Chains A and B, each alone.
Chain A
């Protein structure tokens, strides 16, 4: 090696060593590691708040999670407690400092106004680590969701439907049997902790896809409607069956409506039945893709294309809701109609008359109504108030499809977004097309929303419009991976949520007093 080569090699070696050395964190390694910033205990004690609290309120402080520096501590207290100057008792890691804003906090001594959330900042001794615990005093609730008996007697096809009987106040669930390609309807009810078969298992003809619906009349009679693969008039024609107390009978004959029935919905009313569907056959009694309606007056069916839409107008899908007296139907147009892209229609059926409450409607500024099957629907409250929910990408959703619940103001004849905003589900990057969302109105008029949260691995969440704040509550997580979410209330205020899990079994949550 000559002098030049030696110089080259030496230079390169030096550069390489320097480059690696520059990344070394040996200086850092020599430093003593400071303790974590961490709150250990937190609570409000009667002893520290004499004359204000009648008992101790102590919570478990969330454990530190790597990469997370904000934590919520929620403490439930009765609403009548004066929270404006409460003294907290807490501990943190030794040498940690605790501040609220610029005020140092001393356990059992410092008062804070807990009528608003209070942020406790915990800082370690070398000030390299900070963690914030937001302490919020929430209202004590005497109601809770608890899981009831799992049904795993068979495998359930998608779109199982649940309704609470107005008669016995028990949850009934209708589904198509998946196991062994049975493909026939079955209905169960949960009586206490026991599942009971309602009529024979697999009582119907074979069902087309998941095109079936379920409702229970005010007198407690369950009904199913479905696209019947065994109908003679046309494969997939509409059949409706009712349970007569011992067995299921056809209402008006098997496959009475010559359509290929898809997206079927049924309302069991005190003076008849109303069914909505989309026809998927070119050889049916109505045009392909048209919105079909069928009403039963107690002795005969009247069926055909909806007269509230332009003849032959193609629609994408439809759903039906009811309260036993009034039926509602929502349908989404297929493509553009009069320049409106995937507008939606909402109809009301009462005393034998259909009425349009929205026609080819699209939220202001939205590109289209979402066609995600689980993102829309309609329900009628016990007092007759009509609700519908749809997805849209209106400007105030930052061009992300979000679901909004709307209430029909019958006086002003207009739809109003409940709570003022889309539901706080929080889709961030595009609407999740597989969302399953359902709405029920409790007997006191409180809207509840249950859904599977695709931001959190399809977990089951529920929220309601807080009657005090008039805003949606923070959604509560109830269970792991959920599909086919249904929610309904009994007239006595007991709520039920059902869903199917990844093994196609049925779960039930009940909302009742603790």
Chain B
């Protein structure tokens, strides 16, 4: 009888271990909520571009998830304040409103060409890039009630 109990113990332990070890190559998916976010290269969700800047700036959308086997598409919108004019203050270099994350790719750029032009400080001189959806219903912005970095606000200011 004692031997059977010992045998049961071994088998229960085996079952429990198997459940714990699980599929180790998917470790993390059980604990991590996949999400996409946008920020500057230094991790900020708001930034300033001075009116004398003449450059193509890159803003980055980050995917945080376990490896995907299929493409993920992320949709975004660009909201432009009434103080900024396309072709005068800026140009959208990245065309369209969808970014494609192929398997293995975790960052995608949104590029904007900033052009030297002073702004009217009494107007809204912000350009907001806001994530609006994705093909797998991943969380937009950091997980949490505030969904930080769901959007990036760029404000053009006179130098």
A residues apposed to B, CB below 8 Å: 1, 5, 8-9, 12-13, 15-16, 19-20, 22-23, 25, 37, 69-70, 115-117, 119, 121, 123, 127-132, 134, 395-398, 400, 402, 416-417, 419-422, 424-426, 428, 466, 468-471
Contacts and interface: CB of A to CB of B under 8 A. Distances in A.
Interface of B: 4, 7-8, 11-12, 14-15, 18-19, 21-25, 41-50, 52-58, 69, 93, 102-107, 109, 111, 113, 116, 148, 157, 159
B47 to A, nearest CB: 6
A36 to B, nearest CB: 11
A20 B18 CA distance: 6
Q: Which are the 4 A-B pairs with shortest beta-carbon distances?
A: A19-B18, A12-B11, A420-B48, A469-B55
Contact of B47 (A1, A396, A470): A396
Contact of A16 (B14, B22, B46, B69): B14
Contacts of A468: 54
B54 A469 contact: yes
Nearest to B4: A5
Contacts of A471: 53, 55, 57
21 contacts: A9-B4, A12-B11, A13-B11, A16-B14, A19-B19, A69-B105, A69-B106, A116-B56, A116-B111, A116-B113, A121-B102, A130-B105, A395-B46, A396-B47, A397-B44, A398-B43, A420-B49, A466-B55, A469-B53, A470-B159, A471-B55
A426 B15 contact: no
Contacts of A398: 43-45, 148
Q: Is the interface of B mostly helix, strand, loop or mixed?
A: mixed
A398 B93 CA distance: 27
B128 to A, nearest CB: 14
Contacts of B54: 468-470
Given A1-B4, A16-B18, A398-B148, 5 more contacts: A117-B58, A129-B104, A134-B109, A420-B47, A470-B50
B103 A127 contact: yes
B25 to A, nearest CB: 7
A424 B93 CA distance: 22
B93 to A, nearest CB: 5
Nearest to B25: A25
Q: Which of B12, B58, B105 has the most CB of A within 10 A?
A: B105
Contacts of B46: 395-396
Nearest to A113: B93
Q: Which of B11, B22, B47 has the most CB of A within 10 A?
A: B11
B153 to A, nearest CB: 9
B15 to A, nearest CB: 5
Contacts of B41: 424, 426
B71 to A, nearest CB: 9
Nearest to B46: A396
A89 B21 CA distance: 48
Q: Which of B22, B43, B104 has the most CB of A within 10 A?
A: B104
B42 A426 contact: yes
Nearest to B3: A1
A34 B134 CA distance: 28
Contacts of A123: 102
B100 to A, nearest CB: 9
A247 B111 CA distance: 59
A5 B57 CA distance: 71
B11 A130 contact: no
A16 B14 CA distance: 6
B15 A12 contact: yes
A23 to B, nearest CB: 5
A12 B7 CA distance: 10
A486 B19 CA distance: 57
Nearest to A12: B11
Contacts of B113: 116
B15 A470 contact: no
Contacts of A19: 15, 18-19
